Amino acid sequence: MHGEVVVNPVTRANNQGQIEIRLERGKVADCRSSCFFFRGFEIMLQGRDPRDAPYFTERICGICSAAHATAAAFAVEDLAGVRPPENGNILRNILLAADTVQNHVKHFYLFVVPDYAAGPDRPPFAPRYRNDYRLPPEVNARIIRHYFEAADISRVAHEILTVLGGKAPFTHGILAGGATVPPDGAVIMDLGARVQKLKEFVQNKMIPDAHTIAGAYPEYFELGNRPLRLLNFGFLPVDPERKRFHFPGKVVEETGMREVSVASITEELRHAYFREHGEPGQPGTRPTEAQPGKPGAYSWCKAPRYNGKAFEGGPLARLWITGHYRRGISAMDRIIARVLETDILCGLIEKWLDELQRDEPIFTPFEVPGDGEGLGLTGAMRGPLLHYMCVRGGRISRYDIITPSAWNFSPRDAKGEPGPVEEALVGTPIKDPEQPIEVGRIIRSFDPCYACATHLIAGNKRLHQFIV
């Protein structure tokens, strides 16, 4: 069984990506992970007030907007030498954690579940592949009921952002210097009830559903494997100074676990639709200049590398670092880790609500320097997120963003080394090239969100295979 297959879309909403695979003897021999949207936020930010960055960059993605607001706020605080008060730090943690919870619930039920449980024979469940659904009818029906409940539950998480930030997505609650909505007793009690509802769903339905799927599809603990190379930037600071994090920033390899060195991060552009300016550089050292149609390029994702290697991030990396989950680096391991992290985050939100102090400050006033640099690092829904800004004359002169999707879905680098998703797909056995469901399952275990990576549409690509 030989041939080439293009899988598109790879997400079930807001798709801007595809996977091209080459089959040999029934296995994936080679593949290319492509983003075909160019967003250009780094260019749009030039000339703006640095304080605009948290609100502006939130619009990169509606499913993970609080993460971009957080990274941008950190960058401004680094530039200005300011930190939020204790209450401000806690409130921002609650907002980011709640946004992460709604993402994880949606990812599991909207992206993952339809790969393993057959829904009704109508949209959004149809058209679909017709092979390899194994769950007994009563189990299948129960998980599909939870699929529909998940929409209401994810909205509960978004309501937390709305209460503390005025709206969701794109909350107004996160800004440099702290937060915007002071807590009071009524608000804390209201949010506590919402968190309890989230916890009950995650513990009684989401986690059991994930283990049920894992039990029915055990081979996916072996499929989607790649080398042990995991990366996390500090996620959810314990203290306003960001000296400690609930999920520490670490680099994990077979040789051990180490602290993150920003100096070891470079951005490769050989196979991305961006003009190369000499050798790969560190964040913020090269201008972002689009080059559509660039020879040899196949993605609007840049290719970030750590010490020249491709690293993946996300809940699996974070739980590996904290020791909560270290079974393996496979498709099912990524799914299980994301579900388990959802429960951990609900517990943290509950704890932070108890720690909020009424009538204590939530914001630290500051002045923006006329010139300087700022770096914001945070964990995000899908992995490590970096925002860098350079300010000249009180305005942003250069901005650089390295998203989790760029790490996970990067194209090849100058040496021809593949990105994490490309690594994870090579060697995968495909039973039916007309219905390559194995490819979709592995891709979606990474929680694809190409909006973060790439908005210039090239619609002349002929698709050989279509999957929902």
Torsion of CA 287, 293, 294, 295, to 10 degrees: 170
What mean pLDDT value characterizes the chain?
Answer: 92
Residue-wise DSSP of 299-335: BSS-EEEETTB--B-SHHHHHHHHTS--S-SSHHHHH
The helix/strand/coil state of 59 is coil
| Lowest model confidence (mean pLDDT) among 18-22, 104-108, 247-251, 349-353 | 18-22
On the CB side of 41, how many CA atoms lie within 13 Å of its CA? 24
CB 266 within 8 A of CB 282: yes
Question: 337 is written with which tokens?
Answer: 């880790």
Q: Structure pTM?
A: 0.93
User: Using 50, 70 and 90 to split pLDDT, how confident is the model at 15?
Assistant: low
Give the separation between CA 217 and CA 113, rounded to whole angstroms: 12
Q: How far apart are CA 37 and CA 7, in angstroms?
A: 16
Q: With pLDDT > 90 as the criterion, what percentage of the chain qualifies?
A: 80
Report whether pLDDT(27) > 50.
yes
Domain with 291, as residue range(s), is: 3-466
Instruction: Kindly tell me if the per-residue pLDDT of 468 is higher than 60.
Output: no
Q: How many Å apart are CA 98 and CA 73, to the nearest integer? A: 18
* pLDDT score of 63: 80
Q: 27 forms bridges with which residues in the sheet?
A: 24, 429
Domain CATH number, residue 12: 1.10.645.10
What pLDDT score was predicted for residue 11?
67
Share of residues in the chain with pLDDT > 70 (%): 94
Report the alpha-carbon distance of residue 100 to residue 146 in Å, rounded: 19
**Residue found by looking up tokens 């194994």 in the block:** 134
Enter the tokens of residue 452: 């973060």
Domain count, the chain: 1
Q: Which residues of 43-58 are buried (b: 16+ CB within 10 A; e: fewer)?
A: eebeeeebbebbbbbb
pLDDT digits (tens, 9 = 90+) for 96-129: 999 999 999 999 999 999 999 999 998 888 888 8
Model confidence at 130, pLDDT cuts 50, 70, 90, reads confident
In DSSP terms, 387 is beta-bridged to 376, 401
Separation CA 200–CA 44 (nearest Å): 42
For 51-59, the CB contacts below 8 A with 24+ separation are 51/76, 51/175, 51/176, 51/368, 53/387, 53/389, 53/396, 53/399, 54/174, 54/175, 54/176, 55/170, 55/172, 55/175, 57/387, 57/401, 58/169, 58/170, 58/171, 59/170
pLDDT digits (tens, 9 = 90+) for 148-181: 999 999 999 999 999 999 999 999 999 999 999 9
Inter-residue contact 389 to 53 (CB < 8 Å): yes
- pLDDT, residue 451, reads 60
Rounded to an integer, the average pLDDT of 14-21 is 78
